[in-house]
Structure 1
Amino acid sequence: MLTHPTAERLRALGLTAMAEAFLELQSTAAAAELSREDWLGLLVDREATSRDNKRLTRRLREARLRQAAVIEDTDFRSPRGLDRALFLKLGGCGWIREHSHVVISGPTGVGKSWLACALGQKACREGYSVLYKRAPRLFADLATARGEGRLPRLLAALERVRLLIIDDWGPEPLTAEQRRDLLEIVDDRDDRGSLLVTSQLPLNRWHDLVGDLTIGDAIIDRIIHRAHRLELKGASLRKRKAVPEALTTDPAG
C-alpha cells in the first residue's frame, strides 16, 4: 500500500486528522493485528474528535467569556449560599434545551461572573452557541448600532445565540431606549433561547432598574417565570482570599 499518496488524498478531502491517524497506524507494529473494521473505526474516531474540538474552540472564541471557568472547579466550600444540587443540575444544560433562564444575584465579589462563565463554558461543550456581555457593554453596543442604522441586524444576531449571558446588570437604572432594547431581547428569546443574568440587586429591586412599571413587568415576567435562581450571599471571596495572603507576607520583604 502506498502510504503517503493515501494520506495526501485524505488531506485533499479535508480529512487532515484522519490522514495523521493513518500515518501513525502505518508506523505502529501493533496496528497490523487490527481488523479492517478497527482500522476504519480508529480513523473515523480521530477525524470526528478533531472536528468536535475545532467546533468547541470556535464556540468558545465566539462566546467571549470573561473568565476561563469550568464547573468542575466550582468552589462549594465557601459560605456564600450556593445551592450545590441546583448548580450541578444547571451544569447538565437541560434548562437551555427547555429555553429556560438562570438568574444569579448577590453582592459584589461572591463569584457571580465566574459561575456564569462556568455555565457558559459547559454550554459550549454541550454544543450550544453562547455570547457573554457585561450589561454596560451590551447597552453601549446597542446604542452604537442604533446610531449606525444596524440595530435590527444586531438584535437578529443576539436572537440566534442559544445562550445570552448578561453579566453585572445594575445598579444604574435603564434609559428609555435601553428599556425598549432589553424588552426586545427578552421577547426574542421567548421559547427560542435562554438568558443568564447576574446582578448585585435582588429580584424585588429589578423594577427600580428598569425604571418603568409597565415595561418592567413585561421584562421581569418573561425572565422570572421560567428562571432558575441562584441567590448568593456573604462577604467577597476576593477579600477572604486576600487575608491569608497578607498574613503570610513578610513585611520586610
Structure 2
Amino acid sequence: MHPIPELTPLLKQLRLSGILDSLEARNREAIDRKLAFTEFLSLLIHDEVARRDNKKLSLRLRRANFRSQKTLEGFDFDRLPGLNRAAVHDLATCRFIDEKVAVLIAGPCGTGKSHLAQALGHAAARLGHDVLFATQTQLLASLRQAAAVGTYDRRFQYLARLPLLIIDDFGLKPLRSPDDEDFHDLIAERYERVATVLTSNLDFPEWGEAFPGNKMIGAATLDRLRHGAYKIILDGESYRDPDAAKTLKTKLAKETKITQS
C-alpha cells in the first residue's frame, strides 16, 4: 500500500504538510541512490526548513512595503564611480543593525538613494530582520491617522521597536509642528536601540533646514542620527535624466540592429 495518502492527514496534524511537496521526489531519490532512512529523513527536514524560511522571507518582504524589488545585485555602481563599493557591500552585511546605528544617504535626485536604501532593507530581510520602508510623508501620515483613531501609542511603539526603519525623502518637505516633535520622539526612542536608514536630497550640512519651525528639536534629532552613523554620498548622473534616457534608448536600438544583422 502506498503510504503517502495515509501520511497526508498526519503531516497536516503536525503542521508539516509542506513535506508533501517534495515527498514523492525525495522518495524516488532515496530509492535511486539507495539512501539510508536517516539520509532520506534529513533531506525531507531540510526541505521543510527551507520552505518555512522562504515563507518567512516572503512575509517580511511584503510587510516591508518596498516600492519594488530593488536589490544590491541590481544597483548600477558604474554610474557612481566615486562610490566606495566595498563600503556599500560591507553595509549589506547589516553589521550596522547589530551596532544599532544609522545609515545616512545623501545625494541629488535620481542618483539611486531609494534603490540603495531598499537594497539594504532586502539584505536585512534575508538575514531575518523585520524592515519597514516609508517616505517621511508616509511615516508621519501613519502616525496622524493612528492618533485620529486612538491607536497612536501602538503605532509609535511598533515603529520605535522595528529592527530596521528606512525613511526615504527626509527633508523633502519641511517638518512643522506637531510632525517635527513626532519625528524627534521617534528618532530619540530608536536611538542606540535599533537601526535606521535615511535618504535625503539635502546635503548633510543642510539637514537642519528640515526643521524650520524649531531649530532646537532639529539639532537634538540630528545629533542622535549622526552619532556613530555611516554616511554615504551619491554623486553622479540622474537615472531619471531625460538625456540619459535618450542615450540609453539609442544604444539599445543600435545593439538590437547589430543583433539582427
Same fold, judged at TM 0.5 (above):
yes
Alignment check: 8 A CA contact 1:25 1:31 kept: no
Measured in 2, the distance between the counterparts of 1:25 and 1:126 equals: 28
1:171 has 2:172 as partner: yes
- Which consecutive unaligned segments of at least 5 residues does structure 2 have? 255-261
Measured in 2, the distance between the counterparts of 1:80 and 1:159 equals: 36
1:194 has 2:195 as partner: yes
Alignment check: 8 A CA contact 1:7 1:20 kept: no
CA displacement at 1:188 relative to structure 2: 1.4
Measured in 2, the distance between the counterparts of 1:206 and 1:193 equals: 21
1:237 has 2:239 as partner: yes
CA displacement at 1:101 relative to structure 2: 1.0
CA displacement at 1:35 relative to structure 2: 0.8
CA displacement at 1:218 relative to structure 2: 1.1
Q: C-alpha deviations, 1:88-130, integer Å up to 9, x for none?
A: 0001011111111101100000010011111111110000000
- Which consecutive unaligned segments of at least 5 residues does structure 1 have? none
CA displacement at 1:160 relative to structure 2: 2.5
Tell me the equivalent position of 1:128.
129
CA displacement at 1:45 relative to structure 2: 0.1
Alignment check: 8 A CA contact 2:79 2:237 kept: no
CA displacement at 1:146 relative to structure 2: 2.2
Measured in 2, the distance between the counterparts of 1:9 and 1:48 equals: 18
Measured in 2, the distance between the counterparts of 1:77 and 1:163 equals: 28
Tell me the equivalent position of 1:9.
10
TM-score (norm 1): 0.92
Alignment check: 8 A CA contact 2:26 2:44 kept: no
Moved more, 117-126 or 9-18: 9-18
Tell me the equivalent position of 1:146.
147
Alignment check: 8 A CA contact 1:8 1:19 kept: no
- Structure 1 counterpart of 2:245, one-letter code: A
- Structure 2 counterpart of 1:244, one-letter code: T
- Structure 1 counterpart of 2:78, one-letter code: R
- Structure 1 counterpart of 2:59, one-letter code: R
The 1:242–1:18 alpha-carbon spacing in structure 2 relative to 1, beyond 3 Å, is same
Q: C-alpha deviations, 1:122-167, integer Å up to 9, x for none?
A: 1100000000101111122222222332211110111221100100
Partner-residue secondary structure (3-state), 1:104 = strand
1:44 has 2:45 as partner: yes
Match for 1:226 among 225, 228, 233? 228
Measured in 1, the distance between the counterparts of 2:30 and 2:219 equals: 69
Partner-residue secondary structure (3-state), 1:192 = coil
The 1:156–1:31 alpha-carbon spacing in structure 2 relative to 1, beyond 3 Å, is farther
Partner-residue secondary structure (3-state), 1:237 = coil
Moved more, 186-195 or 29-38: 29-38
**Matched pairs, number:** 250
CA displacement at 1:246 relative to structure 2: 4.9
Tell me the equivalent position of 2:100.
99
Superposition misfits of 4+ residues, deviation over 3 angstroms:
27-32, 245-250
Tell me the equivalent position of 2:216.
214
RMSD: 1.9
Alignment check: 8 A CA contact 1:108 1:200 kept: yes
